[in-house]
Structure 1
Amino acid sequence: MKSKIHELTKINRFNVSKHLKSLLFATALFIGASSFVSAQNKIAHINKEELIKAMPAYATAQAEVEKLAKTYEAEFQDQLKEIENLVKQYNAEAAAQTDEENIKRKKQVDGMKQALAMYQQQKNQDLSKKEYDLLKSIADDADAAIQAVAKAQGFQYVLDSAMLIVADGKDLMADVKAHLKL
């Protein structure tokens, strides 16, 4: 029985090895063909982050997010001050209270602190979602403008130059800004 399993394992290893060689050959062939085809493609680049930051909607979105963040921070500070005042009051009265009452008050304060931490976490999530929603629409507008300019100029690929070192090539920034009337 063991020899049969051993024999099957050898056969499976051979088949896997054979398939791996075929896969590697196909990958090498694909890469070679891709490099030949890409030599015939028109490629441009643009720094998308720079474009988005140049759009007026970006400044408006940032201001809205900052205003909301300040509102949340003020609410948080008010609640924190309320807890701190309650702690001061309970500490001043602790000597006159029973151990049971002091334990009860400590649990109350701990619960309030935990609720405040959850509140802060929820508001941070709300703020992140708001920022994402605002910036997504701006990024979508930037993408649409980039695609329109690239198509009009016959470019098949537009790379984000923020992640590239570009020595040469067509930078679409001025053309896209003109398209967006910036």
Structure 2
Amino acid sequence: MKYLIKCLGVAACCLLIGNVAQAQIKIGYLNTSELIALMPETKAADSQFNAFAQKLQQTLQPMQQDLQTKFAEYQEQQATMADAVKESKEKELQDLNERIDQFQLKSQQDMQKKREELMGPILEKVQTAIKAVAASSKFTYILDSNAILHGPEGDNVLPLVKKELGIN
């Protein structure tokens, strides 16, 4: 009876050790920023984004120049202005400055929205390629190398994902 219990115990240990050995984790890593920068779609998105930002800047510049001109005129004539005129000019300058601030805030929001609109499909394509490489190469985890401070050695999957995306 004791012999049977020992045999069952040894068999159970062998099964557990075998299962642990089969459940090894395979870790890979890549630098997603580098990958995204290498993609031709990113260059096209960047040029579209820069053109969009330049249009906004071209709209903002005349507004800022107008404010600077009116402020310089105000400073020159301030000493000789009547109080009512001075108050009116200060209110005009304040209103113009507020409109510029609102335009800048709205521009920043529009630029963020445009960046997300342009980069969304690129990020989705990268994610799909990473998943395909993980499945085909049987990686348990693929991590971004920018977030790894220290960890077990893994495989750099950047070349595999570049190949999946057709990037040389």
Opposite residue 50 of structure 2, the aligned amino acid is E
* Corresponding residue number in structure 1 for 2:9: none
Runs (5+) with no aligned partner, structure 1: 1-35
TM-score (norm 2): 0.77
Query: 1:114 is paired with a residue of what secondary structure?
Result: helix
Q: 1:108 to 1:135 in 2, by over 3 A?
A: same
* Corresponding residue number in structure 2 for 1:114: 98
* Corresponding residue number in structure 1 for 2:110: 126
Select between 108-117 and 164-173 the one with higher mean Cα deviation.
164-173
Question: Between Structure 1 and Structure 2, how many residues are aligned?
Answer: 147
* Corresponding residue number in structure 2 for 1:142: 126
Select between 163-172 and 44-53 the one with higher mean Cα deviation.
163-172
**1:177 is the counterpart of 2:162:** yes
Q: How far does the alpha carbon of each residue in 1:143-171 deviate from its partner, in whole angstroms, 9 at most, with x for none?
A: 10000111011122111122224663221
Deviation, structure 1 residue 42: 2.0
* Corresponding residue number in structure 1 for 2:82: 98
> 46, 59, 64: which is aligned to 2:30?
46
* Corresponding residue number in structure 2 for 1:72: 56
**1:61 is the counterpart of 2:45:** yes
Select between 76-85 and 36-45 the one with higher mean Cα deviation.
36-45
Opposite residue 153 of structure 2, the aligned amino acid is D
Deviation, structure 1 residue 96: 5.1
Q: Distance in 1 between matches of 2:53 and 2:21?
A: 50
* Corresponding residue number in structure 1 for 2:7: none
For the aligned residue pairs, the C-alpha RMSD in angstroms reads 2.2
TM-score (norm 1): 0.72
Deviation, structure 1 residue 38: 10
Q: Distance in 2 between matches of 1:93 and 1:39?
A: 82
Quote the sequence identity (%): 26
Q: Distance in 1 between matches of 2:76 and 2:25?
A: 77
Q: Distance in 1 between matches of 2:116 and 2:89?
A: 40
Opposite residue 177 of structure 1, the aligned amino acid is K
Contact kept in structure 1, 2:26 and 2:154, CA below 8 Å: no
Deviation, structure 1 residue 91: 4.1
Opposite residue 179 of structure 1, the aligned amino acid is E
